[in-house]
Structure 1
Amino acid sequence: CNALNASCSDCLGNSKCMYCYTDNTCKLYPSGKIIPPSSYCALDKARWGTCLVNFEALLISMGVIGGVLLLTITGCCIYCCYCRKGKNKRYEREDAKFESQRMERKARQEERRNERRSRLDEIRMKYGLMKEDSAPYTRFDA
């Protein structure tokens, strides 16, 4: 990196290097550290990756973007787990209501069927059409 002291763009062509504007030198990025120490180069004067944005602004913007992404993912998880579960309960309540209405209709239909059957039986008895035995067929003996 020391050979690339000509300009910031020449220095940052190598990803292992960082450019420091305090002394206009290209330095090896400290690989053991995530953030270079201020004794190495001040964060507002250090450039890494691009010459346009200093390291301090780069860290702040990455932190903000990471926080926004984390909040978005958390919000989506909360929405999917809790809000959609409430919608499923609403659908289950509606299904239960429709099922109970269907059973009530079926019971009323059966009641009307029994009433019609009893009226028809009364009419058959009135005119003597009612059969005494319940079997519809009889056997003829020859």
Structure 2
Amino acid sequence: MNMNLEIRISLFLLVCGLSSTLAQTNITCESKTKTTCEECLTNTSCLWCISSKSCMTYPYSTILPSNSLCPLNDARWGQCTINFQTLIITLSVLGVIIIIAFFICLFSCCKCENCGNSIKENKMQRKAEKRTSAQEQRRADMMARHDEIRQKYGLSRGSAYAKFDNPA
């Protein structure tokens, strides 16, 4: 029970620490407005705008910063050398390439599966032929045994009335 209380206190302190960290980032981003891009982007929640030379908190609610806040071409986040416009274009091209590669792999696998089906069909056909030939061999062996038994007891394979034709 004591451990349960300790866990609750730890979680409470963690949540309070996170909320105070978020409150501090709001203050620190805006306080670095008249500094350099590198100093602003030391905090990952900050966004640097080249045109206004201002540091601001990244607008997470809108995913991308609005054009009125900072044009995409002038916005920097994470690194000062890459702008949002280039980043978005690059990521979208990579996404399309990954999707195309996925569909190419999917279609090639389906094609190979169809090729595999013809191989499987050939294999099944060979097995069926082996079974048929084995069955014919067993049938021939059985007929030979039956003929031996008929010969042993003097029964001919001809008509059932043949023994009445030849008086013994």
Find the counterpart in structure 1 of residue 87 from structure 2. 58
Hey, which bits of structure 1, 4+ residues long, moved more than 4 A?
A: 114-122
- Consecutive unaligned residues of structure 2, counting only runs of 5 or more, are 1-28, 155-168
Shift of residue 72 of structure 1? 2.8
Moved more, 70-79 or 8-17: 70-79
1:97 corresponds to 2:125: yes
Whole-angstrom distance in 1 between the partners of 2:149 and 2:30: 112
Whole-angstrom distance in 2 between the partners of 1:100 and 1:93: 10
**TM-score (norm. length: structure 1):** 0.70
- Consecutive unaligned residues of structure 1, counting only runs of 5 or more, are 133-142
Larger RCO (alpha carbons 8 Å, 6+ apart): 1
Give the letter for the 2:128 counterpart: S
Shift of residue 73 of structure 1? 3.1
Whole-angstrom distance in 1 between the partners of 2:59 and 2:141: 90
Whole-angstrom distance in 2 between the partners of 1:97 and 1:34: 59
Find the partner of 1:17 among 40, 46, 51. 46
Give the letter for the 2:98 counterpart: L
Give the letter for the 2:77 counterpart: W
Give aligned-pair identity as a percent.
24
RMSD across aligned positions (CA): 2.8
Aligned length: 126
Q: Secondary structure at the match of 1:52?
A: strand
Cα deviations by residue, 1:6-61 (Å, 9 ceiling, x for unpaired): 11111111122111111211122223211111111111111011111111101111
Shift of residue 91 of structure 1? 3.9
